Amino acid sequence: MRFVANVREQFVTRPVRSYGESHFSWFRKFAAAVSLTLFTVTVAHAEPVTTEEARAIAKEATIYGFPLVDSYRVQYSYFIDQHNADYKAPWNTISNTARVFTPEDKAIQTPNSDTPYSFLGADLRAEPLVLTVPKVENGRYYSLQFIDMYTFNFAYVGTRATGNGAGKYLLAGPHWKGTVPKSIKSVIRSETDFAFVLYRTQLFGSADIENVKGVQAGYKVQTLSEYLGKAAAPASATTEFIKPLTAEEERKSLRFFNILNFVLQYCPPHPGEKALIARFAKIGVGAGKSLDVNTLSPDMQKALQDGMSDAWTELADYKKSELDTGKLSSADGFGTRTYLKNNYMARMASAVLGIYGNSKEEALYPAYFVDGGGEKLDGSHRYTLHFPPGKLPPVNAFWSLTLYELPSSLLYANSLNRYLINSSMLPTLKRDADGGITLYIQHTSPGQELESNWLPAPEGSFFSVMRLYWPKAPALDGQWKAPTMQRVQ
């Protein structure tokens, strides 16, 4: 049908300047007849997709594609749009942020405010990159999280994964077949042409920020040719990056599918997904395809729109039945392709609720969307979170509890400028009579003597996320359970 539309556009509706109108009229009739013949052949030999099937495929493509489209939105703001307030640096350049995130940081939902970030957008089409990390003093946690365009975590460098010693690592794209220099500690492969490297460096309080800056100064990146002192590799083709949707538009606009098509150009097809990609092609979704929704019938446009809506309805059901109940956790939604085993709904939910979360070995994220009675958290109520003696989160690095307001899923601006309570604050927290610790999550102060343990909440809806960095075995195997958040009656 798209071919027919193109024929009609080229030969029927477009004027032919070299012919008079009398010459053109017969050609218009001839072309119309040809297009009618083509239409008949199309119907006879290729059964068109029904609106019911198109709706089902649109739902599947939305669930599959949301992490790719939303990640593109973030990285467009970080590495492409220099006029964006969240812009960091050009591709293949490290940007260090020598502070923790605040409510002013709006590109990534549910950001961590424990570790100053460094960012690297890696364009691996022309040649690999050499990433250098410094020696980091013992006791300070740091990590490099390698994320591909699907949002899979495909590698780690840092305290848990490789230790705190210095090293050089080669980050290569899917098509590179060169020689690895002997000085390289290991090769890290991305299955997509672009990758995102998210650096985290532990901060032990405001007085420690200069030490963090010193660590960040040791993070280096070079193209392989620059590292070897050779001529640069031929540049990749100039790319006109498509403008992303806003986070709100991603839920409703049919442009979503065109952005997905753009991103898929840089994601070589995985053998295990060939049948799925072929199914998506029935509605015009695929690498480099152009889906002009204006050429679709109103019924087909509605089918695609309804399919998108169906995906978000299924996500809401998944969150309510699986995440809010504690049946599943962050451990089920972040990780490698192999680990996630084509669980596209888990991948979508993770992207919506906290894109770029760590794999479970690196960090766990017990989340609080409801209280112990199953009711949604709201600042019109008061809540407590109690850790009995000896039952603090078991970690090798550190833990924290961070609060986010809804619907933005961003940090909540408050008079204390306190967005979390973490293990670095333990010496300042007030202990219970039994030696345990109770945190107070509410909109108004619990009183001066308890303010050290107060995590301010907005007047309306919110949720909280606990982070366990480099969790110990009891947290990974379920022996330790995060306490429930209790509403104060």
The pLDDT assigned to 23 comes to 38
What are the tens digits of pLDDT across the range 179-201?
A: 999 999 999 999 999 999 999 99
Strand partners, 421: 401
- Rounded Cα gap, residues 108 and 122, in angstroms: 18
Contact in structure between 160 and 200 (CB atoms under 8 Å): no
What are the tens digits of pLDDT across the range 141-156?
A: 999 999 999 999 999 9
The pLDDT assigned to 206 comes to 86
The pair of structure tokens assigned to 78 is 């970080």
The pLDDT assigned to 9 comes to 36
Query: Between the CA of residue 245 and those of 71, 83, 267, 289, what are the distances in Å?
Result: 11, 16, 20, 18
The pLDDT assigned to 26 comes to 38
The pLDDT assigned to 40 comes to 33
Angle between the 298-318 and 344-354 helix axes, to the nearest 10 degrees?
A: 80
Residues of the chain with pLDDT under 50: 1-46
Contact in structure between 400 and 421 (CB atoms under 8 Å): yes
Enter the DSSP assignment of 431.
B
Query: Between the CA of residue 479 and those of 385, 426, 473, 475, what are the distances in Å?
Result: 19, 23, 8, 6
The pLDDT assigned to 242 comes to 96
